[in-house]
Structure 1
C-alpha cells in the first residue's frame, strides 16, 4: 500500500522554524525569491553542502515545501520533527517517495530536492535523476537554487554553525524541462532532462559565487571516503 500524500499543514509551521534558523540564528541573504512561482507546482533543486541546508532552504522558500529526505535522517528526535513537518522519506529505490512527490506537484505544491544526493562540495558536478523524473512527469517548472556558506572548508558535513554565520540562498530563473521532438523514448527523455537540470544548477551555483565573497568548501567528503547520504 502506498504511503499517504504529505499534508500541506506540516510545511505551514515548519517553514517558520527554518525561517528563524536562517534569518535569526544565522544571517542568510536570500536572492531571487520572486523566481519561485507564487502558485502552482514547482520543484526547487539545490546544491548540497552541509546538514543545515535543508532547514535553511525550506525556511526561505516563500511557500510551504516538501523535501525528499533519505530514511537515515528519519530517526530519533530529528526524524520525529521531519515526519511531523510532512517531509518525504526516501526508502529503498525511492519509487514511493517520487510517487508522493508527484502527488504533491499535481495538487499544485512545491517539492524540494538535493539532486547531488549527499552533502559535499556543493558544486553539482553529478546529480541523480529523481528531480528530472518529477519535472518530466509533472511538467512543473524547476527552480535552480544555490546555497553558499552553510559549511566551510575543514568543517564536518554535520556541522551546526555558530550563531551569526553568513549564508546566501539564491533562487534562479525557473526552467521547464520539455524534451525536444527528436528526443524519443522515456529513457532518452530522462537523460536529456537530467543533463539540462544539472547544467541549470551548476550555472546558478557559479553565478552566485561570482556575485558573493562567500565560497564553497574546498574539501569534498564524498571523494575522501567519508560519504554521508541524507537527501535524494
Structure 2
C-alpha cells in the first residue's frame, strides 16, 4: 500500500513538526495558565480521539493559539504567523511544534508541513480570520477548507470567549482571574478531492464552513451566555493579505 505522503502536495520529504514539547509540556502549561485564569472547555467530546483533525477557531486575542494548543483534547500544531518566529519566542514555538506561516506570500513549506501533520493523523489548528480581531468571522480565508479537501480531515469549529477584554489592545491579556472558554462544535466534513483542488471548490466549501461557524458562534453565545469583546481599538488592525471569501477579505 502506497504512502499518502506521495500524493500531491508531496510530503514524503517533509519533516513533521516537533512534538516532544507540545506533548510533554501540556500538563505543566495547563497548570501554569490555571494559576492565573479559569479555563472552561465545552464539547471536548466533539473532537475525534484518533485520526486527522482540523480545529478552525475564531481569533480574538494573543493567547488564542497557546490556549488551543494547551487545552484542546489533543495536542495541536497551529499555523502561526511567521512574524512571531524570532528570538526566544520563535525557538519555543518551533520546539512546541507550531508551524510558521507567511500570510502575505504563497507558502508551500507551511502548506506541506500542515498536510504532513494531517497525513500522520495529527491535529492542525487554523485561524481562518488570519489575524486577531472581533472574532465575528468578518474575515474568512480558504486554508481550512483547502486542507480538508487535500486530506479528508474533518474540521471541528472552535469558538473562543474571554481571551481579550472589551476595548483591549491586540497584544493584551485578559484580566487576572478572568474566565476563558473554548467551545468545540461538531465536526464539519467534506470529501477528499483529488488534485487539482479548484479555487471554486475550495471557495464554496469555505463559504459553507463559515456559515457553519457563524451558526456555532450563535449557539455558543446562547448556551454560555458569553459575548465577544468587539473590534480592536482604532489603528490596531493588522493588514489583511486578501484572498478570502468575504467582502472584507476578498
Q: CA deviation at 1:64?
A: 1.2
Give the match for residue 107 of structure 1. 120
Q: Does 1:139 align with 2:149?
A: no
Give the match for residue 201 of structure 1. 213
TM-score by length of 1: 0.88
Report which stretch shifted further, 18-27 or 49-58.
Answer: 18-27
**1:49-99 residue CA offsets vs partner (Å, 9 max, x unmatched):** 000011111111111110000111111222121111011011332321111
Give the match for residue 179 of structure 2. 166
Contact 2:63 2:163 (8 Å CA) reproduced: yes
Give the match for residue 15 of structure 2. 4
Q: CA deviation at 1:143?
A: 0.2
Cα 1:177–1:126 change in 2 (3 A) is farther
Higher RCO (CA 8 Å, separation ≥ 6 residues)? 1
Structure 1 residues not aligned, in runs of 5+: none
Q: Does 1:176 align with 2:186?
A: no
TM-score by length of 2: 0.82
**1:7-54 residue CA offsets vs partner (Å, 9 max, x unmatched):** 332320343354235433211110000111101000000000000011
Which one has a bigger Cα radius of gyration?
Answer: 2
Give the match for residue 228 of structure 1. 238
Report which stretch shifted further, 90-99 or 13-22.
Answer: 13-22
Give the match for residue 202 of structure 2. 190
Cα 1:21–1:199 change in 2 (3 A) is farther
Structure 2 residues not aligned, in runs of 5+: 1-12, 241-250
